[in-house]
Amino acid sequence: MTTLTREFTKGLWDEIPLFRIVLGLCPALAVTTTMENGLGMGVAATFVLVCSNGLISLLRNVIPSEVRVACYIVIIAAFVVAVEMLMKAYFFSLSESLGIFIPLIVVNCIILGRAEAFARKNGVLASLADGLGMGLGFTLALTVLATLRELLGAGTLGLVFGERVLLAQPFGFFQQAPGAFVALGILLGLMNVLSKSGK
Amino acid sequence: MKSYLQMVLSLSLIAVLSGLALGGLNELTFEQIQINILKFKKIPAVADIYEILTGELSSEERMAVEEGLLSEKRYVDLGLNEPSLFFVVRKDGAPFAVALEDYGQGFAGNLGVMVGFEIETGNLVGIGITTMSETPGVGTRVKEKAFVTQFMGMSKDAVLKVKKDGGEVDALSGATVSSRAVAQAMDNARAFYTEHREAILDAVNETPGGSS
């Protein structure tokens, strides 16, 4: 495996942000009430992550290390505002249901974490691959979590089927905040079982 | 010394460039965002008021109504910062009411309310909520029928305050601040309408959609 594919694929399983490092919990717990929200949030975060990783890696020799975090935040914030504007212009209803959590991508630890841990020490291509992998991993995790919560909590899968798909009475609990923790716990456990049995 | 200069310069440069890029993007998306706000926020609120006059509509009928309302928007220049936007609500083809939006201070930011006034009497037809960022499940209940229906046909002289403050508005229990914001927004809209009634009514019959 070349290093580039390695940088890309590590975000999808070995270091998948939400389940392995347990970073980015705030959006993961707050917006994953429907599959559509989870996917939208993931895509928005991936866009910011790829762009900021690329740009920070490009500027890694220009930015003095004393003010690097301030520079990273400005760059990340600019991309987040750009995403917010684009979403409002072209995906209005999604931006309404994600609400405050779009601007809050600025403080998503995954993005600043990848900038600090990876992009500032590696080349542009590797950083782009890392950002894309981590972003897709985050999206995957959010979508799985959101699908589980929507299916169990509301009994629907709005993005795929228009109508209720769960025949039993849905547990409204999974739509609320405590349900988010329980659903995340179940997935984390599942993840650990899977990776143990693989060894 | 040189490193200080480099620190200041690089951070400033990044900030300025980001600002410029965002300014450009804002120019590009501004118009589309305004259209979206009109289509998905203001028009549905006017349609809520329209629905009070016609009774409940099926979702197809409602879509047709919202489509039709696009040509019922009017701008009236009152010498304020920008021309004021309002909508004409028709009953049997004739202008029956005007709807305009105003804001109240909610629990989290401004709460926008579209208020319909009967042209002839000045009484309230009803309201529709346009924008809010209230607490989901608590403050957002002001959007529900149980709360909104109390404003149907309210007299133009009604005291628009929640009962706790000596007014006539039934607040939702647990959401006094949001209820108060709705009352305040309605009161603002009414004051605006009373003050500019003539100019607004003059504009009712103008060609539809006169741009800003």
Question: Is A186 within a domain?
Answer: no
| Mean pLDDT per 10-residue interval, chain A, length 199 residues | 82 82 84 88 94 94 90 95 94 86 89 92 93 94 91 78 70 85 92 80
* Nearest CB partner across the interface for A78, out of B21, B36, B133: B21
Q: Is B209 helix (H, G, I), strand (E, B) or coil?
A: coil
B207 pLDDT higher than 70: no
Residue A153 lies in a domain: no
What's the 3-state SS for B100-122? EEEEEECCCCEEEEEEEEECCCC
Whether residue A70 lies inside any domain: the answer is yes
Tell me the residue range of the domain where A26 lies: 3-148
How much is the pTM? 0.80
Q: Does a structural domain hold residue A157? A: no
- How far is residue B192's CA from residue B86's CA, in Å, rounded to a whole number? 12
Q: Parse chain B into domains and list their residue ranges.
A: 32-204
**B20-51 tens-digit pLDDT:** 999 999 999 999 999 999 988 899 999 988 88
Non-local CB neighbours of A57 within 8 Å, separated by 6+ positions: A119, A120, A122, A123, A124, A126, A127, A128
Contacts for B66 with CB less than 8 Å, ≥ 6 apart = B39, B43, B44, B47
Q: Does residue B209 register a pLDDT over 50?
A: no
Give the separation between CA B100 and CA B127, rounded to whole angstroms: 10
- Residues from chain B contacting residue A60 (CB–CB below 8 Å): none
Q: Tell me the per-residue pLDDT of B121-162, one tens digit each, with 9 for 90 and over.
A: 889 999 999 988 787 778 888 988 889 989 998 898 889 999
Q: Of the candidates A93, A99, A100, which has its C-beta nearest B40's C-beta? A: A93
Give the number of domains in chain A.
Answer: 1
**Mean pLDDT over the full length of chain B:** 88
All residues of chain A having their beta carbon less than 8 Å from the beta carbon of residue B133 are 99-100
